[in-house]
Amino acid sequence: MNTIAFHPEIQVPQLVDFVDFKWLMASEGHRIDVARLQRDADYGRQCLVLALATRSTVLHRLAQRLLGSAAA
């Protein structure tokens, strides 16, 4: 049986978060596959680490939020 743990301090990412991430990464010269990002944990981690290496503070905040939600 699957159970869902509710953590009010963690917001579950929505599709719009992944699309925002894709376009922010595109502005940094990186192509992101949103469908793969959502289903492939290794690919997702690689993308988020790459995002954290950019100069964009907006991208850093979004990547940190996506990383935080993945850890929950």
In a domain? residue 4: no
Give residue 71's pLDDT. 56
Tracing tokens 């719009």 back to the chain, one arrives at 16
For residue 67, the enclosing domain spans 15-71
Domain total for the chain?
1
Q: What is the pLDDT of residues 23-71, one digit of tens each?
A: 999 999 999 999 999 899 999 999 999 999 999 999 999 999 888 866 5
Determine, yes or no, domain membership for 42: yes
Question: pTM (2 decimals)?
Answer: 0.77
Q: Are 28 and 57 in contact (CB under 8 A)?
A: no
Residue 7 inside a domain? The answer is no
